[in-house]
Amino acid sequence: MPDLVKPVSATTRPPRPGETDGVHYHFMSPEAFEREIASGGFAEWAEVHGNRYGTLKRELERCLDSGQDVIMELDVQGMRALRQLYPDLTAIFIAPPSMEELERRIRARGGETEAAIKRRMETAKIEMDARFSYNIIIVNDRLDDATEALRRAIDEIRAGKTAIQPPDLQG
């Protein structure tokens, strides 16, 4: 979508093949990440599956100052922390069609141990329980449909038409 900008997140996990520092993530040592936490440098951060992830305030402010709408991919913890700084933000929850389908998708990607899959599913249950704290819920049953629902939601937000809506009206 035009006029959307996404801040580059920071992480303590090592880069995967093909990832570039400053493009895909700001890859940081655990010590550097800790210094940013201590100095108040993060708008939000969390530990997820053994690594830390966060949005640097300076990166978020750079995006906000661009005049473009900002879109972020956050877990529930991150959204709650960001809402403390920006209480008027509009939060959109992208939900799987079911927990069974989510597990099938995780398994189909490959590369995860049984323990990692179990941990991801436990996290997903907690996040699904928090979906009603979001303004909009979009069910990602079919990627094309979910993408179109996201486009419509962004158009409505830009037009000032979006308020908290019952999740059963989303699709």
With cut-offs at 50, 70 and 90, classify the pLDDT of residue 79. very high
pLDDT of residue 2: 67
| Closest by CA position to 89, among listed 133, 24, 121 | 133
Distances (CA, A) of 14 to 2, 18, 29, 41: 31, 12, 9, 21
Is the pLDDT at 170 greater than 90, yes or no? no
The helix or strand, by DSSP H or E, that contains position 91, with its residue range, turns out to be none
- Which CATH architecture is the domain 90-171 placed in? 3-Layer(aba) Sandwich (3.40)
Mean pLDDT of all residues in 137-161: 93
DSSP alpha helices (H): ranges in the chain?
30-38, 57-65, 76-85, 99-109, 114-129, 143-158
Task: Yes or no: say if 42 and 11 are a contact pair by the CB < 8 Å rule.
Answer: no
Segment of 23-32, 65-74, 79-88, 103-112 carrying the highest mean pLDDT: 23-32
CA torsion, points 28, 126, 88, 137, in degrees to nearest 10?
A: 110
Is the pLDDT at 4 greater than 80, yes or no? yes
Pairing of strands 4-5, 69-70: parallel
**What's the pTM?**
0.81
Residue extent(s) of CATH 3.30.63.10 domains in the chain: 1-71
Is the pLDDT at 168 greater than 90, yes or no? no
Is the pLDDT at 169 greater than 60, yes or no? no
Question: What are the structure tokens assigned to 4, written together?
Answer: 């959307």
Whole-number percent of the chain with pLDDT over 90 = 81
With cut-offs at 50, 70 and 90, classify the pLDDT of residue 162. low
With cut-offs at 50, 70 and 90, classify the pLDDT of residue 1. low
Provide the CATH topology of domain 1-71.
Guanylate Kinase phosphate binding domain (3.30.63)
With cut-offs at 50, 70 and 90, classify the pLDDT of residue 103. very high
87 C-beta neighbours (distance < 10 Å), count: 7
